Chains A and B, each alone.
Chain A
Amino acid sequence: MIHPSVEAFGLAAALLALGAALVHRLRLPPLPAYLLVGLALGGRLEVEALEPLPSLGLLLLLFSVGLEFGPDRLGQLSHRVLRAGVWDALALPLGTGLGLLAGLEWRGALLLGGILYVSSSAVIVKLILDLRRATYPESEVVLGVLVFEDLVVAALLVLLGPEVGSGLLGGVGLALAYWVVARRLGPLLSRAVEGFSDELVLLTGAAMVGGSAALFHVLGASEGIGAFLCGVVAAGLGLRERLERLFGPVRDLGVALFFLTVGAQALGLLQGAGWLAASLAALGLLLKLPLNLRGAREAGLSPKRQHYAALYLIPRGEFNLILGALALEQGYTLVAQVAVMLVLASIPLGSLLMRYAPDWLGRSRRPGSSEVQRVGRSG
């Protein structure tokens, strides 16, 4: 007898593959296709049968965000990139102000501020890789800004944990405990792990991610932060490349399913969403553009690249959904609706703008020069 989740998984994977194949022909990145496939399926997709893969996908996503965008990266950023990060961070107080104007209390308004502020490092990195933009100067600025954002939002998540009183205490306590462990036992642990086989590292890593998430949850803190901190600690142990290599494919599969289920569940959540939610989401998209243009100018990019940088930072994703889920738990349905709308709209929109920006913006300035002579191409 076959378990029903196997059928659900097979079907979901096939639909995802179909979606990815369709957009691949258009030379577009696959992530928005996953969301749209989910949206098209709506309630017909058995989300529960797919568990735990989507939840694990999100945790592993946050784990790799912690691996790559941890606090140690902050020291490696140049001053000009940091300035862009500070300009970008103004979106947090501005978004919070919008929330207060919309009649939310400070907690809901802060959650909204975070949701409008943070862009998705996972989605943007994937887009930069898929669209082959890593060599261009705007990517350096954008990735630096993302490091900044992720740290601010991680701190915000610790402060706004699911349970109001104990969550804050638990979150701060655990974060400190992880920091002390990484500091004290770091050299010892990294020596030990060097002798581990790949399989042992994979299993230990998975246990750490799942265990941390559960531990944070039990203490009333955000489980996402548990996974994120796990990544930060692992990066501190010098395991960045190894874990990235080992977890990459597993994570990508889980993330695809996660975005599928986000799409499928979106319609249910958005029922009854009014103009207020829609206009807040739209304002959120617009809010960051001038800030990022200004930041990119401070970072020394040329006018064309300033526009690219601002467009690259449109996609929202993992942290917005986590903040949204938190808002829903705490009774701020409006805020959760804004989060889902933002993610649904910004990923396809941001991908399209990123994909076509060089054609539109590049051509108007120097006709013909955007045709780059491609000498070789592989994988």
Chain B
Amino acid sequence: MRVEEVILPGVGRKYTISVHSGDRIVVVVHHSGQRELQYFEKGELEEPAATLDLTDEEARELGAILAGVLFAPEAVGDTRAKLAAETMEWVKVAPGSPGAGQRVGDLATPGAHLLAVLREGEALLPNPHPDTVLQAGDTLVVAGPRAAVERFLRRVSA
């Protein structure tokens, strides 16, 4: 894939993306946040086969889908699932991080729910009891509003 970027003074930025098949996509990102897309079939230089207008928000959603963020194909690592303003995070407790050795009850953060703890070689621990002590290597599944979840993650892994 080849990407060319040019500045359009007063308008925004233009990206010309040529993909493996020889088709091209031209994307203009306006200062206003609006996006204009044009699709050119292989060999066609003059007239686009299709055009598409997107608002800033639509463009971001589309970008997330294209990047595989929004509907992640596999639930591994720090995959994020986005449910409107709510979020769900998988996070590994690293050795030496503040979360290791802490009681779940001490980490309680308003709004953030610790749904499960995955511990290597053990059965899944759903709805962990407040007295459960986290260990390095545990994987935590946390859900809630993004801000609360991020607060929780900071307390665990700072």
A residues with CB within 8 A of B: 64, 68-69, 73, 76, 78, 121, 125, 128-129, 132, 134-135, 139-140, 143-144, 146-147, 241, 244-245, 302, 304-305, 362, 366, 369-370, 372-379
**Minimum CB–CB distance for B150 against chain A, Å:** 23
Known contacts A134-B28, A369-B47: A76-B7 contact under CB 8 Å: yes
**Residue ID in chain A nearest B49 by CB atoms:** A373
Contact A68 B36 (CB under 8 A): no
**Residue ID in chain B nearest A64 by CB atoms:** B10
Write out the residue numbers on chain B whose beta carbons fall within 8 Å of the beta carbon of A121: 9-10
Whether a CB of chain A sits under 8 angstroms from the CB of B97 is no
Known contacts A134-B28, A140-B6: A129-B11 contact under CB 8 Å: yes
Q: List 11 A-B contacts (CB under 8 A).
A: A69-B10, A125-B9, A135-B14, A135-B48, A140-B8, A146-B10, A369-B47, A370-B47, A372-B47, A372-B48, A378-B58
Contact B9 A68 (CB under 8 A): yes
B residues with CB within 8 A of A: 6-12, 14, 26, 28, 30-31, 34, 36-38, 45-55, 58
- Contact partner of A132 (CB less than 8 A), chosen from B12, B36, B49, is B36
Of A69, A143, A302, the most chain B CB neighbours within 10 A belong to A143
Write out the residue numbers on chain A whose beta carbons fall within 8 Å of the beta carbon of B55: 378-379
Known contacts A68-B9, A374-B51: A379-B14 contact under CB 8 Å: no
Write out the residue numbers on chain B whose beta carbons fall within 8 Å of the beta carbon of A68: 9-10
**Minimum CB–CB distance for B4 against chain A, Å:** 10
- Contact partner of B53 (CB less than 8 A), chosen from A64, A128, A376, is A376
Contact B53 A378 (CB under 8 A): yes
CA distance A362 to B30 in the complex (A): 26
Write out the residue numbers on chain A whose beta carbons fall within 8 Å of the beta carbon of B51: 135, 372-375
**Residue ID in chain B nearest A376 by CB atoms:** B52
Contact A146 B12 (CB under 8 A): no
Write out the residue numbers on chain B whose beta carbons fall within 8 Å of the beta carbon of A146: 9-10
A125-B9, A372-B50, A376-B52 are known; give 9 further A-B pairs, CB within 8 A.
Answer: A78-B6, A132-B36, A134-B14, A135-B36, A304-B46, A366-B47, A370-B47, A376-B53, A378-B54
Write out the residue numbers on chain B whose beta carbons fall within 8 Å of the beta carbon of A132: 36
**Minimum CB–CB distance for A251 against chain B, Å:** 12
Write out the residue numbers on chain B whose beta carbons fall within 8 Å of the beta carbon of A78: 6
CA distance A67 to B55 in the complex (A): 24
Write out the residue numbers on chain A whose beta carbons fall within 8 Å of the beta carbon of B53: 376-379
CA distance A73 to B47 in the complex (A): 28
Write out the residue numbers on chain A whose beta carbons fall within 8 Å of the beta carbon of B12: 134
- Contact partner of A135 (CB less than 8 A), chosen from B26, B54, B58, is B26
Write out the residue numbers on chain A whose beta carbons fall within 8 Å of the beta carbon of B49: 373
Contact A147 B36 (CB under 8 A): no
**Minimum CB–CB distance for B45 against chain A, Å:** 7
CA distance A42 to B10 in the complex (A): 32
Contact A139 B11 (CB under 8 A): yes
Write out the residue numbers on chain A whose beta carbons fall within 8 Å of the beta carbon of B47: 362, 366, 369-370, 372
Contact B10 A140 (CB under 8 A): no
Known contacts A143-B11, A304-B46: A135-B38 contact under CB 8 Å: yes
- Contact partner of B10 (CB less than 8 A), chosen from A125, A245, A375, is A125
Contact B8 A73 (CB under 8 A): no
Contact B50 A375 (CB under 8 A): yes
**Minimum CB–CB distance for B36 against chain A, Å:** 5
**Minimum CB–CB distance for B60 against chain A, Å:** 14
Write out the residue numbers on chain A whose beta carbons fall within 8 Å of the beta carbon of B52: 375-376
Contact A140 B14 (CB under 8 A): yes
**Minimum CB–CB distance for B118 against chain A, Å:** 42
Contact A73 B31 (CB under 8 A): no
**Residue ID in chain B nearest A358 by CB atoms:** B47
**Minimum CB–CB distance for A363 against chain B, Å:** 11
Contact A73 B9 (CB under 8 A): yes
**Minimum CB–CB distance for A232 against chain B, Å:** 12
**Minimum CB–CB distance for A304 against chain B, Å:** 7
Contact B36 A379 (CB under 8 A): no
**Minimum CB–CB distance for B80 against chain A, Å:** 27
**Residue ID in chain A nearest B38 by CB atoms:** A135
**Minimum CB–CB distance for B113 against chain A, Å:** 36
Contact B10 A241 (CB under 8 A): no
